[in-house]
């Protein structure tokens, strides 16, 4: 049997039965099914589909901060993480740059080798872009890049957020 926390904003009910307090914003962690629910004022609904234990924030949970560079004129994989838990939506943050005003560099997030995020562009600048994306357990989160001219450099790939009740947020860095 789970314990019942006092219903105070920013606290979570931890119990097997649905709480009677359905005040919007309240959270309930079901000790039977392991899912996280959020109240909307009338009922509790599962938070996220298959990724109930992750919330976006500015906190960096996973960081691949080794500089990777490409001079290729077609998309080439330069960073990769293999996730060991589902995430979603998760804030995926990428920092990249080009150093030549006559060249344009582009990066894009891929999932399992397939284009997934929005193409991002840098031209003689350093840029940090964030996208909120969903990933499943054992998916690969990849940064692919190409440039028309000088090299493009990816300074970091980060997953920002935190797990509810210290849920492990893990990935294996497998940069090419």
> For the chain, what are the domain ranges?
1-47, 56-173
CA-to-CA distance for 104 and 38, rounded, in angstroms? 43
> In whole numbers, what is the pLDDT of the chain averaged over residues?
78
pLDDT given for residue 128 in this prediction = 92
> DSSP string spanning 1-37?
--------TT-EEEESS--S---TT-EEEETTT--EE
Task: Please state, in angstroms and rounded to a whole number, the distance separating the CA atoms of residues 151 and 26.
Answer: 48
pLDDT at 54 over 70: no
| pLDDT tens column, 69-126 | 999 999 999 999 988 777 767 789 999 998 777 788 999 999 999 999 999 998 888 8
Span 157-171, pLDDT tens digits: 998 876 654 455 667
Cβ neighbours around 121 below 10 Å, total: 14
Contact 52, 89 (CB under 8 A): no
Q: Which residues contact 149 (CB under 8 A, 6 or more apart)?
A: 98, 100, 102, 103, 104
Q: Which two tokens stand for residue 46?
A: 């599962």
- Give me 119's structure tokens: 């193409």
Pairing of strands 27-30, 12-15: parallel
CA 39 to each of CA 28, 30, 162: distance values in angstroms, whole numbers, following the listed order = 8, 13, 20
pLDDT, position 7: 36
Is it true that domain 56-173 has CATH number 3.40.50.970?
A: no
Residue 52's closest CA among 22, 29, 82? 29
- Under a CB-based contact definition with an 8 Å cutoff, are residues 98 and 115 in contact? no
Q: Residue 1 and residue 7: Cα distance in Å, rounded?
A: 18
Global pTM value = 0.68
Ranges 47-56, 95-104, 123-132, 167-176, most confident? 123-132
């Amino acid at each position: 049997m789970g314990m019942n926390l006092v219903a105070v904003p920013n606290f979570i009910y931890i119990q097997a039965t649905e709480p009677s307090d359905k005040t919007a914003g309240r959270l309930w962690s079901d000790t039977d099914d392991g899912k996280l629910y959020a109240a909307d004022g009338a009922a509790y609904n599962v938070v996220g589909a298959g990724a109930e234990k992750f919330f976006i924030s500015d906190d960096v949970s996973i960081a691949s901060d080794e500089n990777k560079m490409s001079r290729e004129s077609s998309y080439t994989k330069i960073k990769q993480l293999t996730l060991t838990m589902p995430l979603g939506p998760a804030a995926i943050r990428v920092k990249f740059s080009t150093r030549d005003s006559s060249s344009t560099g582009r990066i894009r997030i891929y999932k399992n080798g397939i284009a997934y995020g929005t193409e991002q562009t840098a031209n003689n600048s350093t840029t940090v872009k964030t996208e909120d994306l969903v990933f499943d357990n054992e998916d690969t989160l990849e940064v692919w890049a190409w440039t028309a001219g000088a090299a493009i450099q990816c300074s970091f790939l980060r997953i920002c957020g935190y797990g509810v009740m210290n849920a492990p947020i893990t990935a294996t860095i497998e940069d090419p």
